[in-house]
Amino acid sequence: MDRVSTSTQVWALATVQVSIAVPLFGITYFLPTIINDFGYSVPMSQLLTVPPYALASEWTISLGLLIALLGYIINISDAPSGVKYFGTYLCVIGSFSSNPGSISWLANNLQGKYKRAVGIGLQLGVANLGGAAACNIFRSQDAPRYLLGHGLEIMFISIGLIAIPIIVLTYRRMNAQLDREELLEEQQGQDAESKEEGLPSTSSRSSGFRYTL
């Protein structure tokens, strides 16, 4: 438990998950209000929330965040209501499509079922704290542009977009280190076999585990 709670990769991917969760919860809870402030009636606003969700589909994490970022930039701008409504499509598609990728990314990179269970629980716990914060950032006094809400969404997405390449580079470096250690152990094993044949391999790298990029 202590090793998982202090794991750098768990907290790094928890940061990515927060950058996804805040925009996701924000657009989920406040999309009808945002559309209503475009000038549509309440029934029409509810109806217009359906198409963005219908188009939300599978994307990579980074692409999803970039799409969501573009959507929030459109909505924080002084663009016409029709353009902003198109921006809500991007907010929903980007936020929802990024969510599964971040969770599975961490799951693939934690060895052992107990470590994986604790790590994912910690990641989702941190993300849900972000979701709780997202429920309070679109204030009625900020209508109709919601500068605070959209600005915070853009900030969290930007944090995620910065964290992702750092995580990828870190995993690449760790994989390269595993490759070097495995090669060294193979060479040492061959030297040992030349002296004494028949010894079983005790290499800690024999499982071939590598971090998923």
| In-domain check, residue 35 | no
| In-domain check, residue 212 | no
Provide the domain limits for residue 90: 52-180
CB atoms within 10 A of CB 10: 23
Report the domain count for the chain.
1
Q: What share of the chain is helix, strand, coil (3-state, %, to 5)?
A: 75, 0, 25
| In-domain check, residue 204 | no
Tell me the one-letter amino acid at 202.
T
The one-digit pLDDT tens for each residue of the chain (213 residues) are: 556 666 788 888 888 888 888 888 888 788 888 888 888 888 888 888 877 766 654 457 888 899 999 999 999 999 999 999 999 999 988 888 887 778 888 888 888 778 888 888 888 888 888 888 888 889 989 988 899 999 999 999 999 999 988 888 888 898 888 888 888 877 777 655 555 554 444 443 446 778 887
Give the list of residues 6+ apart from residue 87 with CB closer than 8 angstroms, or none.
Answer: 70, 71, 72, 73, 74, 75, 79
| In-domain check, residue 98 | yes
| In-domain check, residue 88 | yes
Q: pTM of the entire structure?
A: 0.73
- Measured in degrees and rounded to the nearest 5, phi and psi for residue 109 equal -110, 10
| In-domain check, residue 102 | yes
| In-domain check, residue 194 | no
CB atoms within 10 A of CB 153: 30
| In-domain check, residue 89 | yes
